[in-house]
A and B are shown apart, each in its own frame.
Chain A
Amino acid sequence: MAVALSPPLRLTDLGDTAFNVEFGDGIDRATNARVTALAAAIRHRPPAGLVEVVPTFRSLLVSYDPLATCRAVIEAEVMALAAGCDEAPAATGRSWRIPVCYDDDLGPDLAEIRRATGLSRAEVIALHAGTGYFVYMLGFMPGFAYLGDTPPALRLPRRDTPRVKVPAGSVAIADAMGAVYPWDSPGGWHLLGRTPAVMFDLGRDPPSLLAAGDRVAFVPVGRDEYEAACRDPGRMAPARLLVGDC
């Protein structure tokens, strides 16, 4: 009888206001799914004194108010919830289609990507847009989702010199990850296109388009369609990008 055993949880200390529950060392969907499952369990039945949980690739940050609880108590409550979590949690999250224009001026690293990979322009776009991505976590800045996994043929280390300003909406790759920059910001990833979709909008609830556990597909669009959508943000309303639940 083969029983798939998950590696034991490991707890690490972040002072007296948080601890990390670590599910593994690497980036893989099975580990990440366990992070997501514990996050959901804690949000569903939050222990007293909980401030928030922050899911990342392989660990869950549990942040608490040390005046409303203490580590020993909240740790026991979280571990009890973890024990009740399914070893192989079902997929949750939503599925999105995000349009991307791969024109050279919007994807200024396309030429470099072609040179480094030996692929043609059409091959790069077909690989990038032909892959289904999974949102492992958000971080770096509001609404910035880490999307995996980039096809092996497109994996490149980050740029030696980060850009001072990457325009909002830039679609980028680095190593096994992809992302859409939600804001104008510094960035060291390779830019291969741009989306008119707004990744973070304070007028929405929740403001972030993507959440951990979501799926993303990139859909190539022409310049006309890209610019029309930039002029008319209504075309990019989340409801029109949403394919459905996973």
Chain B
Amino acid sequence: MPAGLEVLQPGLHTTVQDLGRFGFQALGVPVAGALDFVGLRLANALVGNRPGEACLEISYFGPTLRVTVQAARIAVCGPARLWRTGASGGEPETLAPDRSHRLERGDVLAIGAVSGASVAYLAVAGGFDLAPLMGSLSTYVRAGLGPLGGGPVTAGALLPLCAGAAVDGGALALPGPMDYGGGPVRVVPGPQADGFTDEAMATLLSADYVVTREADRMGLRLEGPPLGHRRGADIVSDGVVSGCIQVPGNGNPIILLADHQTTGGYAKIATVVSADLPRVGRMVPGTRLSFAAVSVEQAEALRRRLELEIARQVGGLRAVDAGLDLTALYRADLVSGMVDALKNDDG
């Protein structure tokens, strides 16, 4: 039997991603990479990997995987539900996210719904034994670029694991759930802020917007008060980055995310700061958001603060008992039960 993780069921849209494929945008090759670079880095920390090791990015609903190596150490970072079923079958055992687990040959790991965020990350100690493409294991599905033929994982596929990873030793858990922050999403006005009316900028920085169902790895289309251009929506195409808020002729903003094209021909009113990209990348349809303007210098300070918070999480990783983890059970079952109850109350 091949050695790795065998995909029994692929999930809704599960892709291999790392921190992105940089250096080829001049050839039109998008960066891709994790929508939430914090989640990917923390998942890797939980299994002792380097921060940028490739993970499975799980969108909304996760895959079911069978372990075909002697043992593997895994961690899922993000609000996902997961279960292990042993080789001999029996009742599935609930496993907690945000901590590592040791799986044995024949174990089946089922990852269910991701709730409250669009993505979660599965890291495996040692990483996947896949060949990088242009220096990266990120998957860009639209052009079929990346490992596994450049597509999402499919049933029957094998995800080979690098041999020799340490799977023994105690399990590690995050000190607490990562705080992705709240309040307005911080943006730096530009690059084409002057292409919009004063009223449009005032609206962007005061109104509430809602993430529509047109939300994927390429970007989030928002619904809210339309933003007016001074000279039309079209510009001479120029380079864009993740977080750029482009506004086509209908006035509805689109936040560009990891799979954005390298260049764009719509005016961009502002750019989400890098510290808020993980939070925005996790947003699901229906999320309400507002925006606040900051300077480039403030954006740089916000990013340094985020890095301190990530370092605090990694520095605070705690050993957890291999047996019962009451905190994890509480988070996995009781809290989600309450969330469901609240949803029902809302009607």
Contact = CB atoms under 8 A, between A and B. Distances in A.
A14 B244 CA distance: 7
Given A67-B304, A139-B263, A141-B142, A14 B191 contact: yes
B272 interface: yes
A141 B27 CA distance: 8
B272 A15 contact: yes
Given A56-B239, A57-B237, A137-B263, A20 B145 contact: no
A20 B239 CA distance: 8
Given A140-B263, A207-B134, A13 B296 contact: yes
Interface stretch (A58-66, A84-92, A219-227): A58-66
A15 B241 contact: yes
Interface string B18-48: 0000111111111000000000000000000
B154 interface: no
A211 B24 CA distance: 11
Given A15-B271, A16-B274, A17-B241, A140 B236 contact: no
Given A12-B192, A59-B239, A52 B23 contact: yes
B314 to A, nearest CB: 15
Interface in A62-91: 63, 66-67, 70-72
A138 B28 contact: yes
Contacts of B263: 54, 56, 137, 139-140
B299 interface: yes
Interface residues of A, number: 50
Contact of A15 (B145, B239, B299): B299
A38 interface: no
Contacts of A15: 187-188, 241, 243-244, 271-274, 296, 299
| Size class of the B contact interface (CB-based, 8 Å) | 35 or more
B238 interface: yes
B188 A138 contact: no
Given A58-B236, A66-B300, A143 B28 contact: yes
A51 B28 contact: no
A18 interface: yes
A142 B145 contact: yes
B252 interface: no
Contact of B236 (A12, A57, A141): A57
A37 to B, nearest CB: 14
Given A63-B241, A66-B300, A144 B28 contact: yes
B239 A16 contact: no
Nearest to B243: A15
Contacts of B192: 12
Contacts of A140: 28, 261-263
B274 A66 contact: yes
A207 B21 CA distance: 14
Contacts of A212: 26
A41 to B, nearest CB: 14
A143 B188 CA distance: 30
Given A59-B239, A137-B237, A183-B143, A12 B191 contact: yes
Interface in A4-61: 12-20, 22, 25-27, 39, 51-61
A39 B26 contact: yes
B190 interface: yes
A145 B28 CA distance: 8
A157 B346 CA distance: 50
Given A12-B191, A137-B263, A211 B142 contact: no
A202 interface: yes
A54 B296 contact: no
Contacts of A202: 133-134, 145
A54 B142 contact: no
B27 A71 contact: no
B300 A52 contact: no
B303 interface: yes
Interface of A: 12-20, 22, 25-27, 39, 51-61, 63, 66-67, 70-72, 137-146, 183, 185, 200, 202, 206-208, 211-212
The 9 closest A-B pairs by CB, nearest first: A61-B239, A139-B263, A12-B191, A16-B299, A15-B271, A13-B190, A54-B239, A138-B28, A208-B27
22 contacts: A13-B296, A14-B271, A15-B243, A15-B296, A15-B299, A16-B275, A16-B296, A17-B243, A17-B274, A52-B23, A53-B26, A56-B238, A57-B238, A63-B241, A66-B274, A66-B299, A71-B300, A138-B27, A138-B262, A142-B24, A142-B28, A206-B27
